[in-house]
Amino acid sequence: MLTLRNLSKTFNPGTVNEKAALTGIDLHLDKGDFLTILGSNGAGKSTLFGAIAGSFVVDSGSIHLDGRNITNLPDYKRSKYIGRLFQDPLKGTAPNMTIEENLALAYLRASQAHSPFSMITKADRRDFRERLAMLELGLEDRMDHPVGLLSGGQRQALTLLMATLVTPKLLLLDEHTAALDPATGEKVLALTERIVAQNRITCLMITHNIPSALRLGNRTLMMKDGRIVLELAGKQRAGMTPEQLLQAFREQGISNDRIEFSAQ
Amino acid sequence: MISTAVIFSALELGFVYALVALALFLSYRVLNIADMTTDGAFTLGCAVSATVALAGHPLLAFPAAMAAGVCAGFVTAFFQTRLKIPSILAGIITNTGLYTVNLAIMSFSSNVNLMGKDTLFTLVQPHLGAVYKLLPAMGITLAAGAALVLFLMTRLGLSVRATGDNPDMVRASSINTAFTITVGLCLSNALTALSGAVLAQYQKTADINLGTGMVIIGLASLIIGETLLPRGKLWVKALGAVLGSILYRFIIALALRMDLPSECLKLISATIVALAIGLPAIQDALKPATKGGKAKC
């Protein structure tokens, strides 16, 4: 499904700020894989997402999605197949457009069949309503409200819905619950789990929370200095407790306060 | 005090110039770009309209002027999106170049006279009677406004709106911002040029200086409209721009009535725009003082 071969990226090469953000990353995901990624700040997790989504061109290596080489495809062409959520809930929605218009934008751009001049139909609107109702946030009755009036958690839930309205080939979640209060974060996380499972979406999720890294998904990666230093799957992962994983972190010398707190 | 003739001419001009307010609604409010091409594109519309009306047919002048406006918008968008020239500078460069282009269209004469020639208005005069100027001006503006609102509800229109509303979101979604900015600026300049085209036939003359200050007049109208109809759906906002333009013309008519020299009007427009756009900052600056000094950190 997704294959990364020997991916490398160095920022500001040849300057004092030179930073090898990714070094020889090899990774393969099968359809339906849900991979959680742990690592300290600056480990290259977000850079990895940037490389997959096409925010920059990688220095070497290749990226294949669903058998197609997308290494040099511009970001806006990749995002037809790749949904992406950021930590900042304000980044994923247009505040002065209504909930319905935001959904329409996501729907009309992701589905291939529409001409540039197509508009949302009554049937689409009913569909949006049903999907919004599944979020259980009462948004289905506020479809003509500007998104700017929603809370961070509501906006992030809406962004998640928009990213999966037309099922993407790949979903990238970059600490998408970290900026929310714990209760809302849990709710959005449960929602993520449900939507990903229902649509069997191949998914990568960056988190600093060790229990959710183990609980969600079927594989876990640990990154350090632009490399993958530990990969857990299958029985080894199933038998792992948060405490043991934390220990592994400490052994790599990459633990930090956020990770320590989350494991308690 | 104010005669029917004055009311009629304010309404007529209000509708004609409302196209510029609609254009700025698209570029300034929706796309978040202050498009300095506006002045030149307006004169371009005038020049093309008068020249085509003289040489061809007055009705052919409108699509021709709009096509010319699209080209002007495209050039500005090209500077901005491909050559990475800052948006304001991109508009000013196009605007400067357009001066020569506009003169060339009018055969290097600073004005073109349509006296005694057919215009849209003389063509419909036998059928419409007294409202022969008001109805066409109103019809064109309302049709253009409706088309703009409908466009903004399409997939492409939604993409254009998102481009201006949340660049972060757009970068992460499958929207090519270079394309949406180009589409937006082409359309807005087509509207501006259409406004100039109607005006040239309305007053039976095109002049190289007709567009000077047009961007400020359009912004003033847009802001007056937003004060009249502060919130609402898209069509309410578009209607606000039209009403703002009409109200602006009434303010001008009143000012002229009070024997204010017409040379003062641009200063008044500039003041209105500066105050209206600066209002939030002014309010912020005044707030701590009225609240008696909050904790500074």
Closest by CA to A185, choosing from A227, A214, A226, A157, is A157
Q: pLDDT at position B293, please? A: 44
Task: Give the integer Cα–Cα distance in Å for B136 and B71.
Answer: 25
CB–CB contact A106 B171 (8 Å): no
Q: Is B171 on the interface with A (CB under 8 A)?
A: yes
CB–CB contact B153 A108 (8 Å): no
Whether A199 contacts A207, CB under 8 Å: no
Q: pLDDT at position A113, please? A: 63
Domain that holds residue B68: 4-211
How many beta carbons lie within 10 A of that of residue B58, not counting itself? Answer: 22
Joined together, the tokens standing for residue A184 give 């809302």
Strand partners, A11: A19
Name the strand (E) or helix (H) holding B207: strand B205-207
Indicate the range of A21-25, A140-144, A180-184, B90-94 predicted with least confidence.
A180-184
Task: Give the integer Cα–Cα distance in Å for A229 and B225.
Answer: 60
Q: Is B231 on the interface with A (CB under 8 A)?
A: no
Q: Is A110 on the interface with B (CB under 8 A)?
A: yes
Q: What is the mean pLDDT of residues A169-183?
A: 90
Angle, CA B218 vertex, CA B147 and CA B133 arms, to 5°? 65
Q: Which residues of B touch A53 (CB under 8 A)?
A: 172
Q: pLDDT at position A112, please? A: 65
Closest by CA to B194, choosing from B16, B75, B74, is B16
Q: Is B209 on the interface with A (CB under 8 A)?
A: no
Q: Is A215 on the interface with B (CB under 8 A)?
A: no
CB–CB contact A109 B173 (8 Å): yes
Nearest to A117 among B154, B171, B175 (CB): B154
State the DSSP string of A54-110. TSS--SEEEEEETTEE-TTS-HHHHTTTEEEE-SSGGGSS-TTSBHHHHHHHHHHHH
Nearest to A104 among B158, B174, B177 (CB): B158
State the DSSP string of B21-36. HHHHIIIIIIS----T
Whether A101 contacts B158, CB under 8 Å: yes
Q: pLDDT at position B272, please? A: 78
Backbone phi and psi for residue A7, each to the nearest 5 degrees, phi listed first: -80, 130
**Chain A closest CA to B230's CA: distance in Å?**
13
CB–CB contact B158 A118 (8 Å): no
First vs last Cα of chain B: how many Å apart? 57
Q: Is B168 on the interface with A (CB under 8 A)?
A: yes
Considering the domain boundaries, does residue B292 fall inside one?
no
A85 Cβ contact list (under 8 Å, min separation 6) = A92, A156, A159, A160, A163, A171, A172, A173, A174, A176
Q: pLDDT at position A55, please? A: 87
CB–CB contact A92 B158 (8 Å): no
How many beta carbons lie within 10 A of that of residue A115, not counting itself? Answer: 9
Nearest to A91 among B159, B161, B169 (CB): B169
Backbone phi and psi for residue A182, each to the nearest 5 degrees, phi listed first: -55, -45
Q: pLDDT at position A187, please? A: 87
Task: Give the integer Cα–Cα distance in Å for A74 and A52.
Answer: 11
Considering the domain boundaries, does residue B39 fall inside one?
yes
Q: Is A235 on the interface with B (CB under 8 A)?
A: no
Whether A58 contacts A71, CB under 8 Å: yes
Nearest to B165 among A77, A94, A106 (CB): A94
Pairing between β-strand B111-113 and β-strand B205-207 as defined by DSSP bridges: antiparallel
Task: Give the integer Cα–Cα distance in Å for A48 and A205.
Answer: 11
Interface with chain B: mutation pick from A91, A98, A125, highest number of B CBs within 10 Å: A91
On the question of pLDDT at A264 being above 70, the answer is no
Q: What's the structural domain count of chain B? A: 1
Considering the domain boundaries, does residue B27 fall inside one?
yes
Task: Give the integer Cα–Cα distance in Å for A14 and B223.
Answer: 50
The tens digit of pLDDT for each residue in A56-67 reads: 889 999 999 998
Q: What is the value of pTM for the model shown? A: 0.85
Q: Is B110 on the interface with A (CB under 8 A)?
A: no
- The distance of Cα B71 from the centroid of its chain, to the nearest Å, equals 16
Burial of A261 (0-12, 13-18, 19+ CB in 10 A): exposed
Closest by CA to A128, choosing from A181, A171, A166, is A166
Question: Which residues of chain A from 155 to 214 reach within 8 Å of chain B, CB to CB?
Answer: none
Q: Which residues of A touch B233 (CB under 8 A)?
A: 144
On the question of pLDDT at A262 being above 80, the answer is no
Q: Is B113 on the interface with A (CB under 8 A)?
A: no
**Chain A closest CA to B212's CA: distance in Å?**
32
Q: Is A96 on the interface with B (CB under 8 A)?
A: yes
On the question of pLDDT at A142 being above 60, the answer is yes
Considering the domain boundaries, does residue B278 fall inside one?
no
Given pLDDT bands bounded at 50, 70 and 90, which one contains residue A263? low
**Chain A closest CA to B152's CA: distance in Å?**
9
Mean pLDDT by 10 residues, chain B (297 residues): 84 96 96 95 97 93 97 97 95 96 94 91 89 93 97 92 88 82 97 97 93 91 89 91 94 83 80 81 77 44
Q: Is B133 on the interface with A (CB under 8 A)?
A: no
Q: What is the mean pLDDT of residues A117-144?
A: 88
Q: Where are the domains of chain A?
A: 95-167
